[in-house]
Structure 1
Amino acid sequence: MLLNESMQYIKRIKILNDRIPSLSTYPFDLPVVQALDELTFHPQVTYLIGENGMGKSTLLEAIAIAYGFNPEGGSFNFNFSTYDSHSPLEQYLRLSKGAYKPKDGFFLRAETYYNVASNIEELDSEPLGGRKIIDQFGGVSLHEQSHGESFFATFLNRFRGQGIYLLDEPEAALSPLRQLSMLARMHELVEQDSQFIIATHSPLLMAYPHATIYEFSEDGIKETTLEETNHYLLFKQFFEDKDRLLHHLFL
């Protein structure tokens, strides 16, 4: 069964602009915050895309914290802090939830995934009742795998369906082939009542059919299609006429 608008876990967010103290200070000076009033999410897959510095990751972090996730990532049960660096944006965000509560959830951040893996090992040093957390991730230490292998082990083993999954640049550790495998895994989970919100730069990961894509730029926010995104057009230009593009780059 697929989630629909009445069942999805996160329906929309709204920036509480009247409470923002100053638009000239971080994170309120970010383009995504200044352009955003309200954003509605697809019941299954929504992408947040744009150039570096637009504020995609900061917005996704705020959504995750507002929904109950640890700022550095993990499931709802993770509660650790390696370095308190998250922004206060979640305090200026109103999050509208659906009528259904997810049975699973995970906030995956590429930049803090090492901290999640370390926290798992710390907790597993004194397991409760003989059960180890790492068993939910495939049973092999995430530190004893390559970055990409540990990422994919999480997608494959820890994501169980009927869940809300917030992913921040998951392609950072994945080869193109693994990114396609991730799309296949996403589809399995979508068919198991799951919802994804993904911040990404990867045209491969943006290819999930019928997803909503929001592109952030200095000019604001627009809903777009994969083929209209700057990411896709740049890759298309490169592969269709690589020599011409390189000639202009190297002038």
Structure 2
Amino acid sequence: MFLKRISLMREQVPDFSQYPFDIPSIASFDQLNLASPVTFFVGENGSGKSTLLEAIADKCGFNTAGGGRNNTYETHAAESELGDYVRLSWMPKVSNGFFMRAESFYHFASHIDELQRDGNDAYRSYGGRSLHAQSHGESFLSLFMNRFNGQAIYLLDEPEAALSPQRQLTFLRIMHELAEEEECQFIIATHSPILLGYPGAQILSFDGGAIEEIGYEETDHFKITKYFLDHREKFLKELLEEE
């Protein structure tokens, strides 16, 4: 592990009534201690998990639109407003890594195409061909298998967005090899009960107005999915016939 602690410099925050400091989980946030090479951020949409992940990426020097330190391009609303008020504690500090945002991955793929057209061998790190020439799921796996390597930190925002359940399992295997054999660290914002099942992962919930560590079986992702699978007909009858 490299990143050990994430702290909010509360004394420097100008106004807790303004976004993003008015998000309950951020407003109550002081510091987080990371205890596993794989950490998951979970919570409902708008709970603050992606906002904090983006701030971490900003402090790491990664492009907050998606990419690493050397990926310079711009997309709308890519600037992190929280990043200036977050402190990261490292042991040791690493500069290698990547921030992947599912929502802006198209723009990142276009950026790689531009680098290739400019004479750089940009495709080499992404399976040898344009990410746009691959299916959405294939392009994600190309990134994970070819761009990710040892002694680095990887920040992923909803990587399951383009992955089928089978490919989510493939990603778990890739992540395990990188974490166990190549000393990589992952912080992942996700809604996937499959990814959350990674053994030994730390799960931090952003629901309930605070950031708290919870167990896998305590997540809504597990409980709702399990109840649906165990009681599908009853679940759907109650849902669809509810007045």
**TM-score, shorter chain, exceeding 0.5:** yes
Name 1:50's counterpart in structure 2.
43
Secondary structure in 2 aligned to 1:113? helix
Q: For the Cα contact (< 8 Å) 2:149–2:184, is it kept in 1? A: no
Q: How does 1:71-86 map to 2 (within 5 A)?
A: 71-86=64-79
Alignment map for 1:1-251 (pairs within 5 Å): 8-101=1-94, 104-128=96-120, 132-191=121-180, 192-250=182-240, 251=242
Contact 2:36/2:202 (<8 A) preserved: no
Q: Is residue 11–residue 40 contact of structure 1 (8 Å, CA) maintained in 2?
A: yes
| Equivalent residues of 2:36, 2:200 under 8 A apart | no
Aligned to 2:199, the other structure's residue is in SS state coil
Q: Which amino acid aligns with 1:240?
A: D
Tell me the amino acid that sits aligned with residue 128 of structure 2.
G
Conserved? CA contact 1:27–1:87, under 8 Å = no
Q: CA deviation at 1:100?
A: 4.6
SS at match of 2:47: coil
Q: Alpha-carbon deviations, 1:86-107, whole Å to 9, x = none?
A: 33101111111112535x3111
Q: Measure the CA separation in 2 of the matches of 1:234 and 1:69.
A: 34
Could you state the TM-score of these two structures normalised by the residue count of structure 1? 0.92
- Residue 228 of structure 1 aligns with an amino acid whose one-letter code is E
Residues 55-108 of structure 1, C-alpha deviations (whole Å, 9 max, x = no match)? 111100000010110111112211111224433101111111112535x31111
Q: Tell me, what secondary structure is at the counterpart of 1:204? A: helix
Query: One-letter code of the match for 1:108?
Result: M
Q: Is the contact made by 1:11 and 1:43 (CA closer than 8 Å) also made in structure 2?
A: no
Unaligned runs of 5+ in 2: none
Q: Secondary structure at the match of 1:218?
A: helix
Deviations 1:106-126 (A, max 9, x none): 111001111111011111112
Alpha-carbon distance change, 69 to 85 in structure 1, aligned in 2, over 3 angstroms: closer
Letter in 2 for 1:58: T
Q: Secondary structure at the residue paired with 2:211?
A: strand
Judged with a 3 Å threshold, the aligned counterparts in structure 2 of structure 1 residues 101 and 219 are, in CA distance, closer, same or farther, namely closer
Q: Distance in 2 between matches of 1:161 and 1:118?
A: 26
> Does the 8 Å contact 1:155/1:185 carry over to 2?
yes
Contact 1:168/1:200 (<8 A) preserved? yes
For residues 141 and 123 of structure 1, do their structure 2 counterparts lie closer, same or farther at Cα, with a shift above 3 Å needed? same
Equivalent-residue separation in structure 2 for 1:86 and 1:27 (angstroms): 12
Q: TM-score, normalised by structure 2?
A: 0.95
Structure 1 residue ranges without an equivalent (≥5)? 1-7
- Within 2, Cα distance between the matches of 1:223 and 1:108? 23
